Chains A and B, each alone.
Chain A
Amino acid sequence: MGAHLLTLVTFIPVLGGIIIAFIPREKLDAIRWTAVAATALQLLVSFVILGSYDRMNPDIQMVEHYSWIPAFNIEYFMGIDGLSLPMVLLTPFISFLAIFSSWKIPKAQKGYFSLFLLLDTGMMGVFVSLDFFLFYIFWEVMLLPMYFLIGMWGGPKKEYAAIKFFLYTLFGSVLMLLGMLALYFSLEPHTFNMIILRDAAPEIGQKLLLGMNAAKVIFMLLFVGFAIKVPIFPFHTWLPLAHVEAPTAISVILAGILLKMGTYGFLRISWPVLPSATLWFALPMAILGLINIIYGAMAALAQKDLKKMVAYSSINHMGYVLLGMSAMTAAGMNGAVFQMFNHGTITAMLFMLVGVVYDRAHHRDIDGFGGIAAKVPIYAGVVALAWFAGLGLPGLSGFISEALCFIGAFPVFTWITIFATLGIVLNAAYFLWSYQRIFFGPLNPKYENLEEINKRELWTLIPLAVVVIFLGIYPAPMLDLMSGTLNQLVDIVKTAGMMAGF
């Protein structure tokens, strides 16, 4: 059993999904609790993984390596290191809580929870695969349930949003597939094994493809695939729509985990396998990060729909990740991955909180509230916590990762970082402004009888809040998990860069 933790953590949810498929649709509670059990078990396994992870060892661990399709040298190859571990912890954590946020899904619960669990498996698989082909399969496995989850259980424009999400992502996947195949054929013997590919990085860096540097071409192909997921400007427009139309729990998953798959892909594949191209593209990447920060923040500031504002805040926050990870410094890289984790928890809170008020007021118009803090003080308090976490208040986890991203990026991209700090003010502006409009001022008489947040909702938020506060006060446990691997990654990219003459 010990040797198959990663397989377990990946496939437990889908097993739960299969069981749900056999439960009659009337037995709602059985369906829900099966979903809870599946994700809880997955969470438990992720804790076991955390417990047996050796943080002193920066290399991949808990490897599961079997031949799968020998004819094409495709392997069933899983393993984790300091880069994937935070995501392996985040995914079941958010999924588990998101199950509770979807407790009151109005229709077709059976299908919903089965698809949800399938989605969970897809996401987890992406984070543990070390074979590019396997990675790609999980990447696509995630896509389909997401399409249905948005398209069937979403808001008024759900079909449009779902198809848009689907096509956008699929477009990226196709380019990614091309890049993947190009990588596959660039080595002899052909392989999808990421570790072999990484070690052969100098060789790949010298190949030609269509008369151009193969590394650069492949990097750009993969870039589009990953950039759409992150999303990086200008590939971001699916996000506000999908987030707004998706049901609360799915928005939580989308923003909390799915977006990380993009940046994870960069750090897992593009960075180590194509280091010369990475350095070549680092500056544009940082500029895109800056654009994400400022553009996302400005757009968020102008939103009238609360959920849309939160959605744009994700674009803004992922900008910090891009900035940090393109700098190739220890602080920047750790900050970026830490920000991936923190954004996962914080944005999950943000979306859940939006969901809470939407369930009661049935609208999300920021200007349509006013003064409700008087009626729902506990809710107002939790929102304040989440909002302040979002705007990067010290003592809450988001601050540390943002600060690390900035400090790490500053020596490399000085001017870009200076402009990016403007994002700090804009963050404060859009969060505080929306908070004021919703909670402060005289009470809107329409909400005289607004219900306070209930126990179930509160208890889905409390674990997130605890993590946010704990990591804000003492981030070392999380950073210790990942710093070894990430420093090694920085070294790999930098060494390769030196060899390529950067």
Chain B
Amino acid sequence: MPMVNLSIIILVLPLISFVFQMFFGRRLEGKKGEWISISLVLVTLLLAIIMFANMLFDYQPDFRQEAQFTWLNLGSFQLEMGILVDNITIIMLLVVAIISGLVHIYSVEYMKDDVRYSRYFGFLGIFTFSMYGITIANNLFMIYCFWELVGLSSYLLIGHWWEKKSAADAGKKAFIVNRIGDIGMFMGLMIVATVAGTFNYELLFERIGNGAWAAGVGGLFGGVDPNTLLTWAGVLIFMGAIGKSAQFPLHVWLPDAMEGPTPVSALIHAATMVAAGVYLTVRIFPMLTPNAMSFIALIGGFTAFFAATIAITQNDIKKVLAYSTVSQLGYMIMALGTGAYVAGFFHLVTHAMFKGLLFLASGSVIHMMHHSLHKLGDHETDAQDMRNMGGLRTKMPITYTVFLIASLSISGIPLFSGFLSKDAILAGTWAYAAHIHDGWLAQAHLGWLLPFFGFSAALITAFYMFRLMFMTFHGEPKNKAIFDNMHEAPRLITVPIMVLGALSTWIFFSLPSFNPLGGEGWFHHLVQQAKSVVPTGAFDAETFAHGLHAAHYPAMYTSLIVAGLGIGLAVLIYLLREIDPEKIAIRLGVLYRGSLNKWYMDEIYLHGIIRPFLKGCGAVATFDMEIYDHYVIDGVGRRVKSLATGTGVADDLVVDGAVNLFGIIFQWLGWTLKFVQTGKIQNYLIYVLIGVLMVYLINVF
């Protein structure tokens, strides 16, 4: 099985990079030690390309190779580890390899002279390793393991500059918030293990389909309806995705994660790791019931809209992109929830390219800003604040160009990759709202919420992206001194972003067709809608497919109109300055402040959950030592001790007194009787004789 073997090599190489950098990296700093990591990752990229080429060559939609071994065997309970390579895996591997490879190269320049340079590359290695692991896993347990490892590498990389409290806080927050999602996922896993008895995707789906699931429910939760349990299992596993893909309400960690180095944000917090949640949902798609899908769609849709509203008002260039990421992930999730399986995964791929690009390009700006500020000896000005930029397009033409490409792509403008996928998602929501009647969302007649979220998020996205563009690259420079010291980034930065810029155009995704408005490219041929295995009341994929066809053009026109509207608005406000943004902000009042403060989610969590909980912990600890231990346990001890003292007194008077009394009596007896003891044997013999006589006499009479 060559593909499986290749994927194992791909998996292991970054791990070697990690181990190498951990043990020897420090000694090779400044001696090109990072290039060992880079070449290892580039080898994986090469292998991924080989796999990809192989896939294109085969052109089989149902290509699938699987290999596994028993990892632990407890008799009645077994766990397997295994690898599943199908088209989705290969595409995802390629995406991860491309972004990771480019980020590795990019980091050479960006992280130059960093205090923990080699360590940084090691952490990139373990991240890439874990991400590959998620990608090639053939079962839920294995994905969970790598899921957590990805969380670890994210923690390490966000906290890379841990001297800053905010960075250390952000890493911790990311890990813990992710773990909250993971609890849900783990519960889902436990349900799956109990009911289906396997974690393997294919076996699991088979058992759901053939009734083994229904038979396996047994007395769980007091004999719950198997279908309801299936919904719950789906929703709970999806909770892992809520955490990792930063969906509402667990999205709070992602914006904070921007404390990490920008290439890390591009790799982990934009392109790959956060997409792992989407990937997981893709993997479990066949087992999702309509009700679970309703939940997923609503979460995704709301997140898409909600995050977009925050992105409008942010001034930190990376924060805008972070909320944009949350919003775009919401899109993907929503797509999967509406049943637009292919579109959701497609958006994952295109988004990885253009969002990775956006981050790397913004990193280019930030990097040069740092240089400029450094030259000026300025340590106060925030290098990421867009209010300190402006007019940079003349200074950084390459960065500007690729940024424009990415912005057009994310806004969904034809000729760019984002248009293809985003359009498909919006059409999906449209079709869902119009034609699907399964699932509680549709039954509650809230189906139209999804297109509403989708299209308004599209409008807002176009608006804030061009707001970002104009504030950064157009207009007058806000700070002349900084501006004068700016110039284009070095080649190690510009080459990766140019590669990604190229990959953000439509052509790579629509081949063999050249139609920029979509049509059926290789992607749609190789990735086909997964069939639902839900035994009763499954999602009606056929109706949906028809609806999708019908919704294609209306959705496309609408999305073009809203995107144009958003861009136009941005042009009016930020380019032509026809409308003063400040005035709008004042007019909007509460809404503006809410958006600026991220709708106070962090404050709600801090004051509503974290603080009270920590207080509770303090109370527990105090209770344990000061009250329970002090009063109850030691109290028993003291009570026993005082009892003992009392007993001691009683002992002296009564027991000891009694003993002494006996002593006195016998002492007296001794004094008296000692005169009998003459020491003369003859006397004793007489006593004996008398005794014998007495016994004789008693016997006789």
Chain B contacts of A442 at CB under 8 A? 163
Interface residues of B in 194-211 (CB under 8 A from A): 194
Task: Please give, as numbers and ranges, the residues of chain B lying within 8 Å of A302 by CB-CB distance.
Answer: 614, 617-618, 620-622
Q: Is B71 an interface residue (CB 8 A)?
A: yes
Q: Are B621 and A393 in contact (CB under 8 A)?
A: no
- In residues 175-193 of chain B, which contact A (Cβ within 8 Å)? 175-176, 179-180, 182-183, 186-187, 189-191, 193
A243 and B144 alpha carbons, distance in the complex (Å): 34
- Return the CB mask of B130-160 against A: 1 if under 8 Å, else 0: 0000000000010011111100100100010
Partner-binding segment picked from A114-122, A265-273, A433-441 = A433-441
Bound-state Cα–Cα, A234 to B149, Å: 35
Q: Indicate if B676 sits at the interface (CB-CB under 8 A).
A: no
**A416-445 interface with B by 8 A CB criterion:** 417-418, 421-422, 424-425, 428-429, 432-433, 436, 439-443
B-contacting 9-mer, from A145-153, A253-261, A405-413? A405-413
Task: Tell me whether A424 and B183 are in contact (CB under 8 A).
Answer: yes
Q: Quick check: is A487 within 8 A (CB to CB) of the other chain?
A: yes
Contacts of A421 in B (CB 8 A): 183, 186-187
Whether A410 and B175, one on each chain, are in contact in the complex, defined by CB atoms closer than 8 angstroms, is no
A238 to B637: give the CA distance in the assembly, Å. 12
CB of B152 within 8 A of CB of A388, answer yes
CA distance A151 to B70 in the complex (A): 49
Find out whether the CB atom of A374 lies under 8 angstroms from the CB atom of B72.
no
Main secondary structure of the interface of B (DSSP, over half): helix
With A302-B614, A421-B187: A476-B72 Cβ-Cβ less than 8 Å: yes
A373: CB under 8 A from chain B? yes
Residue A428 contacts which of B141, B176, B616, B633 (CB distance < 8 angstroms)?
B176
CB neighbours (8 Å) of B374 from chain A are none
Contact present for B617 and A301 (CB under 8 Å): yes
Contact B190 A417 (CB under 8 A): yes
| A87 on interface, CB distance cutoff 8 Å | no
In angstroms, how far is the closest chain A Cβ from the Cβ of B2? 25
The residue in chain A whose Cβ has the minimal distance to the Cβ of B216 is: A411
B-chain residues with CB within 8 Å of residue A429 when the two chains form the complex: 176
Rounded to whole angstroms, the CA-CA distance of A234 and B627 in the bound complex is 12
CA distance A164 to B146 in the complex (A): 44
If A237-B629, A410-B193, A425-B176 touch, whether A440 touches B618 (CB-CB below 8 Å) is no
Alpha-carbon distance between A476 and B144 when the two chains are bound, in angstroms: 19
Chain B residues, CB < 8 A from A476? 70-73
> Are B186 and A334 in touch, CB under 8 angstroms?
no
Which partner residue on chain A sits nearest B620 by CB separation? Answer: A298
- In this assembly, does A330 line the interface, its C-beta being within 8 Å of a C-beta of chain B? yes
Select which of A312, A394, A487 is within 8 A of B144 by beta carbon: A394
Q: Is B546 an interface residue (CB 8 A)?
A: no
Q: B193 contacts which chain A residues (CB < 8 A)?
A: 407, 410
- Does B165 reach chain A (CB closer than 8 Å)? yes
Contact (Cβ within 8 A) B625 A240: yes
Return B18 CB to nearest CB of chain A, in Å. 12
Contacts of A393 in B (CB 8 A): 148-149, 152
In the complex, what residues of B have CB within 8 A of residue A425's CB?
A: 176, 179-180, 183
A262 to B77, CA, bound (A): 26
A301-B617, A330-B75, A406-B190 given as contacts; is B175 within 8 A of A428 (CB)? yes
A437-476 CB mask vs B (1 if < 8 Å, else 0) is: 0011111000000000000000000000000000000111
Q: Say yes or no: A394-B149 contact (C-beta < 8 A), given A424-B179, A479-B72.
A: yes
A331 within 8 A of B: yes
Please tell me if A399 contacts chain B, counting CB pairs below 8 Å: yes
A436, B152: Cα distance in complex, Å: 14
Q: Are A441 and B163 in contact (CB under 8 A)?
A: yes
Measured in the bound complex, the distance between the Cα atoms of B622 and A301 in whole Å is 12
Q: How far is the CA of A166 from the CA of B166 in the complex (A)?
A: 46
- What is the bound-complex CA distance between A429 and B173, given in angstroms? 9
* Pair B162/A299 contact, Cβ less than 8 Å: no
- Check B145 against A399 for contact (C-beta < 8 Å): yes
User: A433 near B621 (CB under 8 angstroms)?
Assistant: no
Chain B residues within 8 Å of A483, by CB: 73-75
B29 contacts the other chain (CB 8 A): no
CA–CA, A408 and B182, complex, Å? 18
A52 within 8 Å of B by Cβ?
no
A157 to B75, CA, bound (A): 49
Which of A234, A299, A400 lies in contact with B621, CB distance below 8 A?
A: A299
**Residue B316 at the A interface, CB < 8 A?**
no
Using A302-B620, A406-B186, A483-B75 as known contacts, say yes or no to A394 and B146 having CB atoms under 8 A apart.
yes
Q: Contact partner of A298 among B146, B169, B621, CB < 8 A?
A: B621
Contacts of B598 in A (CB 8 A): none
Q: Which residues of B contact A330 (CB under 8 A)?
A: 74-77
Provide the residues of chain B in CB contact with A303, threshold 8 Å: 621
Which residue of the partner chain, among B144, B190, B622, contacts A410 with CB atoms under 8 Å? B190
A410 to B147, CA, bound (A): 21
For the complex formed, measure the closest distance between the CB of B352 and the CB atoms of chain A, giving whole angstroms. 24
A395–B145 CB distance below 8 A: yes
A416 to chain B, nearest CB (A): 12
Asked whether A411 lies within 8 Å of B194 as measured between CB atoms, the reply is: yes
Contacts of A474 in B (CB 8 A): 71
Q: With A and B bound together, what is the CA distance between A217 and B634 in angstroms?
A: 26
Decide: A433 near B186, CB < 8 A? Known: A237-B624, A301-B614: no
What residues on A are CB-neighbors of B637 within 8 Å?
164, 167
B425 interfacial contact with A, CB 8 Å: no
Complex Cα spacing A95 to B72, Å: 29
Shortest C-beta distance, B85 to chain A (Å), equals 22
A199 within 8 A of B: no
A residues in contact with B141, CB < 8 Å: 403
Contacting pair B74 A441 (CB below 8 A): no
A495 at the interface (CB under 8 A from B): no
What's the minimum C-beta distance from A478 to chain B, rounded to whole angstroms? 9
| Chain A CB within 8 A of B220 CB | yes
- In the complex, which of the residues A374, A394, A406, A407 contacts B145, with contact meaning CB atoms closer than 8 Å? A394
Is A219 on the interface with B (CB-CB < 8 A)? no
One of A237, A334, A479 near B628 (C-beta < 8 A): A237
Alpha-carbon distance between A72 and B77 when the two chains are bound, in angstroms: 43
Q: Are A436 and B145 CB-contacts (below 8 A) given A331-B74, A393-B152, A487-B76? A: no
In Å, the complex CA distance between A417 and B637 comes to 35
Cβ contact within 8 Å between B621 and A487: no
Answer whether residue A414 sits at the interface, using C-beta atoms and an 8 A cutoff. yes
Cβ-defined partner of B220 (8 Å) among A404, A414, A487: A414
Given A395-B149, A428-B175, the answer on whether A439 and B162 have CB atoms closer than 8 Å is: yes
Are B186 and A424 neighbours in the complex by a CB distance under 8 Å? yes
Q: Is B168 an interface residue (CB 8 A)?
A: yes
Query: Given contacts A407-B193, A441-B163, are A422 and B183 in contact (CB under 8 A)?
Result: yes
Cβ < 8 Å to A, chain B residues 72-89: 72-77
Instruction: Tell me, in angstroms, the Cα distance from A164 to B625 when the chains sit together.
Output: 13
State the CA gap A298–B75 with chains docked (Å): 36
A202 sits at the interface (CB 8 A): no
Contacts of A155 in B (CB 8 A): none
In the assembly, what is the distance between CA of A487 and CA of B165, in Å? Answer: 49
* Distance, CA A479 to CA B79, complexed state (A): 12
A373 to B180: give the CA distance in the assembly, Å: 27
Mask of A472-502 contacts with B, CB within 8 angstroms, 1/0: 0011100110011001000000000000000
A295 within 8 A of B: yes
A111 at the interface (CB under 8 A from B): no
9 A-B pairs closest in CB distance: A394-B145, A302-B621, A440-B168, A237-B629, A440-B162, A410-B190, A302-B617, A301-B617, A298-B620
- Given A399-B148, A421-B183, A483-B73: 11 more A-B contacts, CB < 8 Å: A298-B621, A299-B620, A301-B617, A329-B77, A334-B77, A394-B149, A399-B145, A406-B190, A428-B176, A436-B172, A483-B75
Can you spell out 5 A-B residue pairs with CB atoms less than 8 angstroms apart?
A: A302-B614, A407-B190, A439-B162, A440-B168, A476-B71
Chain B residues within 8 Å of A, Cβ to Cβ: 22, 70-77, 141, 144-149, 152, 155, 159, 162-163, 165, 168-169, 172, 175-176, 179-180, 182-183, 186-187, 189-191, 193-194, 218, 220-221, 614, 616-618, 620-622, 624-625, 628-629, 632-634, 637
